[in-house]
């Protein structure tokens, strides 16, 4: 009998994916030196690890909430819990950059990219709409994926209801949304949909999120797939090293395959090389690391290099410093900010939801005395 509820391989992949995104974005800070240019050229495909987040999210959300969001109260509880998880840190990092934008406006700071801080983009950021109507990548720009995730969360109750009637409909949704994205990209002449971020990022996320849902719904069948020893670790390593040689959509397909291999290993309760390295032990830091790595880079790399008047080559020493600061900041954020605030918001919702209705007032005529 297989334990189809574990997610250790997916958890391990999440923290690896977060680390890859950090490497991609931090490389861009050093593109003025040869090693930075080399890294930028050979890590562009790391941006597709965000799509792996979407697959894992679909699996985990289906695992936790499938069959539990079937009325208005349960849907409200689900959406509130998701907001309590993602919104506080998003709001905190947005506030950091809005404060920085204020400092730029009053001349207390300077930047080489003032277009990154448009005040007109704040409403979309606050409403988590910036994967659709964002002007460009602004403020804490990795947060576009939160907007895309929220789009999937809003659709999840309807998708779960559909899946309860016919599981195969979710597989059709994976294929249908991927085809619709491809047709739109061709008709509108956009970039490949795997590159959609602030203009259509939610539609980019939907096939991956639906794939994760489908994997949960068919987990017992997936557990019986024939296993290829070492396939997960080998495919992940090959993607990291050589993914930059692939066309964008082929690289996205590779990410989906890696996610499926991780799901298969979890569903079959197999031990793989990925688990032996213990990456899953750090998975709880994934979101903190993802959301904080750009603010940390702003402070440590950008401001630090200016304060210390470092040359482009000297700035390289700030890369390991930023990674250490990020590890510490992520741990503190998770323990001292995100978790307590999430618990508070969840408990506040539950108290309000379970509060007894006030007794109807008794008129003088109805008084028992």
Q: Summarize pLDDT for 307-331 with one digit per residue, the tens.
A: 999 998 999 999 999 999 999 999 9
Q: Which pLDDT belongs to residue 359? A: 55
How do residues 267-292 score in pLDDT, each as one tens digit?
999 888 888 888 999 999 999 999 99
- For 64: left if phi > 0, alpha if psi spans -120 to 50, otherwise beta; the answer is alpha
> Residue 15, CB half-sphere, CA atoms under 13 Å: how many?
18
The closest of 5, 3, 1, 20 to 258, measured between CA atoms, is: 20
Tell me: pLDDT of 69 over 70.
Answer: yes
Q: Which pLDDT belongs to residue 114? A: 67
Tell me: pLDDT of 253 over 50.
Answer: yes
How do residues 114-144 score in pLDDT, each as one tens digit?
677 888 889 999 999 999 986 678 899 999 9
Tell me: pLDDT of 155 over 50.
Answer: yes
Cα-based distances in Å from 121 to 94, 98, 99: 11, 11, 14
Q: Which pLDDT belongs to residue 242? A: 96
Task: Express as a percent the part of the chain with pLDDT over 70.
Answer: 92
**Mean pLDDT across the stretch 62-85?**
94
DSSP H or E segment with residue 269? none
Task: Express as a percent the part of the chain with pLDDT over 90.
Answer: 78
137-176 burial by CB neighbour count: b if 16+ within 10 A, else e? bbbbbbbbbbbbbbbbbebbbebbeebeeeeebbbebbee
How do residues 204-229 score in pLDDT, each as one tens digit?
999 999 999 999 999 999 999 998 88
């Amino acid at each position: 009998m297989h334990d189809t509820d574990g997610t250790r391989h997916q958890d391990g992949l999440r923290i690896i994916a977060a680390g890859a995104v950090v490497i991609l974005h931090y490389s861009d800070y050093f593109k003025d030196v040869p090693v930075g240019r080399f890294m930028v050229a050979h890590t562009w495909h790391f941006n597709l690890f965000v799509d792996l987040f979407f697959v894992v999210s679909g699996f985990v959300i289906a695992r936790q909430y499938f069959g539990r969001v079937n009325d208005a109260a349960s849907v409200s509880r689900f959406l509130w819990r998701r907001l309590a998880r993602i919104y506080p840190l998003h709001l905190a990092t947005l506030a950091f950059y809005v404060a920085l934008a204020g400092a730029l406006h009053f001349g207390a700071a300077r930047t080489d990219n003032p277009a990154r801080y448009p005040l007109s983009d704040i409403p979309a950021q606050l409403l988590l709409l910036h994967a659709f109507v964002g002007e460009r990548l602004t403020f804490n720009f990795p947060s576009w994926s939160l907007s895309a995730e929220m789009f999937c969360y809003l659709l999840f109750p309807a998708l779960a209801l559909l899946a309860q009637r016919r599981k195969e409909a979710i597989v059709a949704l994976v294929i249908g949304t991927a085809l619709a994205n491809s047709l739109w990209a061709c008709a509108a002449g956009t970039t490949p949909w795997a590159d959609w971020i602030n203009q259509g990022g939610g539609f980019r996320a939907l096939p991956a999120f639906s794939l994760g849902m489908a994997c949960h719904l068919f987990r017992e069948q997936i557990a019986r797939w024939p296993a290829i020893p070492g396939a997960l670790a080998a495919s992940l390593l090959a993607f990291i090293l050589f993914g930059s040689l692939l066309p964008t959509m082929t690289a996205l397909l590779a990410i989906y395959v890696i996610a499926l291999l991780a799901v298969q290993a979890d569903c079959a309760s197999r031990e793989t090389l990925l688990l032996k390295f213990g990456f899953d032990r750090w998975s709880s830091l994934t979101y903190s690391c993802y959301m904080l790595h750009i603010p940390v880079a702003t402070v440590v790399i950008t401001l630090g290099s200016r304060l210390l008047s470092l040359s482009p080559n000297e700035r390289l020493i700030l890369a390991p410093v930023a990674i250490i600061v990020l590890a510490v900041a992520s741990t503190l954020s998770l323990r001292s900010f995100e978790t307590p605030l999430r618990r508070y918001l969840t408990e506040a919702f539950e108290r309000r939801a379970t509060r007894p209705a006030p007794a109807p007032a008794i008129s003088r005529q109805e008084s028992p005395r």
